[in-house]
Chain A
């Protein structure tokens, strides 16, 4: 009796929460915005997924929390949860008919209600919605009752369909430049999304693969060290070649995106030293980026006409300025506790931006008008020199910068200095008692980060050709921080993954760009709650954040898992 009563309550609560999340997403506007972004053409849109997804997720929660074990009761629980969510949605639509919600919530529009009602007449449409919500619950319950192997197959199949469907536009663009592949896959994609046949094919393919792989050991480990080395160099070399030809493969439009992502990778690598290695939360990272860019601007722009240096003459000066700024700011503040440090660096970033914007420094820094006609970098000697101007040319400059910074980052990580940073991050008092001078050590990290940020700034100036204060907002610091966190604090490959995920995707999918920071915020919170070590954690961090889950010492020699 008691059990069933709590299950009821739990089901209702999950349902309410699921409905609330859907309503929240609707009112923010993403449901409407994505209602025409089809995953499977004309069948299911991303917007629809945003309505159904929370309902499904929360009925799953209801099942997992239920005490009852009888399948019938479980299905009932899930259906109740789903129906409750549906009722919440109906309530919003109903309320919208009675009072004009739109006066307050921009997105509580008739469009939204039409989406809720499957573009049918309101009453029967909404009833259909209710029915579907209950059905979603039932399907989720049915899913959980399946044997593990089929569950794995279905979830993998769905995952791939959703991912590929979402990236339909991107895949389409690339495929179009590759004629012969396009012919092969034309039937799978319609109007930037999967065709129904394509979706079924993909689902069966990936799901079948998961079904087949289920329970089998993962791919064989290569144990022979010689072979291992060969494989490593082989992949590295292949990857290098790919990177070199990437702009030609992808074309103009993508090169621009690549450049942007590249700049963020470069800066991310720098901030990763500060945040990931040394554990110093620096929220004013953009300040050094601005210092780098503005130094280049002031020194090279003929418009200001102070110095009229070339890019390469100004470059080292810019780096020195950024580095010095790092040292000067770092010296006094690095004794502070972590969270104070975060706020002070943030304050510093704002100070720099305010100064740059001010009328006081306008004669030197251009104020709101910024600095135009910054000199582009010239490479080569004499007749063979070219001015790097197009995005495709600048790509190589940025790539070179990334390679350099990544190299330095790897070297630092595996050195005495890297160890010292890690020790300070772990337990500052004890580290100091080991003879470590904490200010000097942190300062090194902080100043290196500043230097790399400065490099990012100079390249940014070279790429854009003109700079404005608005390019140096606090948001830039947050962008970089987010990509490090999502990729995995302290992880160098993580920076690449994070930058591709957070910078690349929104650029590729323009609808997302609008909701970028919403997404970043949610990603930071979700990451910290569920996977604080990031998408691609450094091997060590994988262990660090999940204390309870670390295997006991005897088993820690990793055995390829076989379930």
Chain B
């Protein structure tokens, strides 16, 4: 056994392990010195954790789009970040209209529902449109082709929405009902964050239920197993693919509203970074795997929120939170190197010869 192991190992692996180990050492070092310094209280750690979970909830909903589409078409829908952007960027106009006629403060629940539904509808339509125009004609093309198309579609959408609504920032109105916090013992829990986490969990569960137990969901899984076989069994593969995009789009639209509850400003470029993070989350959990996406997103949200303070602060890095995105991307790089199947994903079987 040792022999075969020896034969498989290469210079590359050694290099990678050395890099990985040194990063691990830095992280542990940083963590220990942060904790020793006692700069942060338990309450502030709690605060960061909640913040991270709320962020994770948003990533989870966006990650659904990547995971579902990847499961079925084995392609990264690069334009999904724009699917995510389109919903909240459009719904801001409804939100402002509802705010200015006072509806939002009179009926915050109904108002938010309307805004969320609009956001979901727009994101869903954009997702379906992208599939129809950019991906469907390329089902059997070489791998790089749909990926490049997706990048093109992503830019086209960004600048289309920029053309529609302008290149400036649009602010969402604040929802008075969500201002302030509840108290758990001595620790304050912000209402927005609590609502976001609960909503994300509920929606993720709904999505899971749809994928696992609904008829369409079952057909979806059949298609992702084997397209030809599914078609032979009388499943309309095209319709299922559209449904997949629609579901992912709707989730992203909903995620968009949870996002603006935390960062109430929208603009045409807002999809890029969350999209990339959500993709990271999907990969972290095991792309193609719904619970995996949720788990991955939560872990990523936590790391991003707690990480800079925990790992980097102790090393004396100023304004460590500037590096939070870098943490996310480094995680992405290392997962793809060490465990491309993600936390919950099964290993892709060896290539068939």
Say whether A246 faces chain B, with CB atoms less than 8 Å apart.
Answer: no
| Cβ-defined contact, B165 with A529, below 8 A | no
Question: What is the distance, in angstroms, from A365's C-beta to the closest C-beta of chain B?
Answer: 13
| Cβ-defined contact, B147 with A281, below 8 A | yes
| Cβ-defined contact, A532 with B163, below 8 A | no
Say whether A347 faces chain B, with CB atoms less than 8 Å apart.
Answer: yes
Chain A residues near B159 (CB, 8 Å)? Answer: 28, 515, 517-518, 521
B-binding segment of A137-145, A227-235, A348-356: A348-356
Chain B residues near A521 (CB, 8 Å)? Answer: 151-159
| Cβ-defined contact, B319 with A360, below 8 A | yes
Once bound together, how far apart are the Cα atoms of A24 and B76, in whole Å? 26
For chain B, residues 142 to 174, give those with C-beta under 8 angstroms from any C-beta of chain A: 143-149, 151-160, 162-166
Say whether A525 faces chain B, with CB atoms less than 8 Å apart.
Answer: yes
| Cβ-defined contact, B329 with A351, below 8 A | yes
| Cβ-defined contact, A342 with B326, below 8 A | no
| Cβ-defined contact, A340 with B340, below 8 A | yes
Chain A residues near B144 (CB, 8 Å)? Answer: 279, 281, 338
Chain B residues near A346 (CB, 8 Å)? Answer: 276
| Cβ-defined contact, B145 with A528, below 8 A | yes
A344-B332 CB under 8 A given contacts A333-B337, A439-B10: yes
Chain A residues near B90 (CB, 8 Å)? Answer: 104
Contact with A along B320-341 (1 / 0, CB 8 A): 1011011001101100110010
**B contact patch SS:** helix
Chain B residues near A35 (CB, 8 Å)? Answer: none
- Output the nearest chain B residue to A357 by Cβ-Cβ distance: B322
- Output the nearest chain A residue to B320 by Cβ-Cβ distance: A360
A-binding segment of B37-45, B133-141, B181-189: B133-141
Chain A residues near B340 (CB, 8 Å)? Answer: 336-337, 340
Contact with B along A320-338 (1 / 0, CB 8 A): 0000000000011101111
Chain A residues near B333 (CB, 8 Å)? Answer: 332-333, 344, 347-348
Chain B residues near A344 (CB, 8 Å)? Answer: 332-333, 336
| Cβ-defined contact, B276 with A347, below 8 A | yes
Among B272, B326, B330, chain A packs the most CB atoms within 10 A around the CB of: B326
Contact of A358 among B138, B156, B283, B319 (CB under 8 A): B319
A478-B151 CB under 8 A given contacts A106-B166, A351-B330, A354-B325: yes
Once bound together, how far apart are the Cα atoms of A342 and B283, in whole Å? 13
| Cβ-defined contact, B149 with A518, below 8 A | no
Say whether B16 faces chain A, with CB atoms less than 8 Å apart.
Answer: yes
Chain A residues near B272 (CB, 8 Å)? Answer: 474
| Cβ-defined contact, B325 with A522, below 8 A | no
User: Count of A residues near B, CB < 8 Å?
Assistant: 56
| Cβ-defined contact, A354 with B153, below 8 A | no
Say whether B318 faces chain A, with CB atoms less than 8 Å apart.
Answer: yes
Contact with B along A472-510 (1 / 0, CB 8 A): 001000100110010000000000000000000000000
Contact of A429 among B93, B138, B337, B353 (CB under 8 A): B353
Say whether A103 faces chain B, with CB atoms less than 8 Å apart.
Answer: yes
Say whether A172 faces chain B, with CB atoms less than 8 Å apart.
Answer: no
Say whether A359 faces chain B, with CB atoms less than 8 Å apart.
Answer: yes
Contact of B319 among A28, A359, A429, A527 (CB under 8 A): A359
For chain A, residues 87 to 120, give those with C-beta under 8 angstroms from any C-beta of chain B: 103-107
Say whether A523 faces chain B, with CB atoms less than 8 Å apart.
Answer: yes
Question: What is the distance, in angstroms, from B26's C-beta to the closest C-beta of chain A?
Answer: 13
| Cβ-defined contact, B326 with A339, below 8 A | no
Question: What is the distance, in angstroms, from B308's C-beta to the closest C-beta of chain A?
Answer: 11
Once bound together, how far apart are the Cα atoms of A350 and B320, in whole Å? 16
Interface pairs (15), CB distance under 8 Å? A28-B160, A103-B97, A104-B90, A332-B12, A336-B336, A338-B143, A339-B143, A351-B329, A359-B318, A359-B322, A360-B322, A478-B151, A518-B156, A525-B153, A525-B156
Q: Which residues of A contact B (CB under 8 A)?
A: 24, 27-30, 103-107, 279, 281, 283, 331-333, 335-340, 342-344, 346-348, 350-351, 354-355, 357-360, 429, 439, 474, 478, 481-482, 485, 515, 517-518, 520-525, 527-529, 532
Q: Which residues of B contact A (CB under 8 A)?
A: 10, 12, 15-16, 19, 75-76, 90, 93, 97, 133-134, 137-138, 141, 143-149, 151-160, 162-166, 272, 276, 279-280, 283, 317-320, 322-323, 325-326, 329-330, 332-333, 336-337, 340, 351, 353
The 7 closest A-B pairs by CB, nearest first: A524-B152, A521-B156, A28-B163, A521-B155, A518-B159, A347-B329, A525-B152
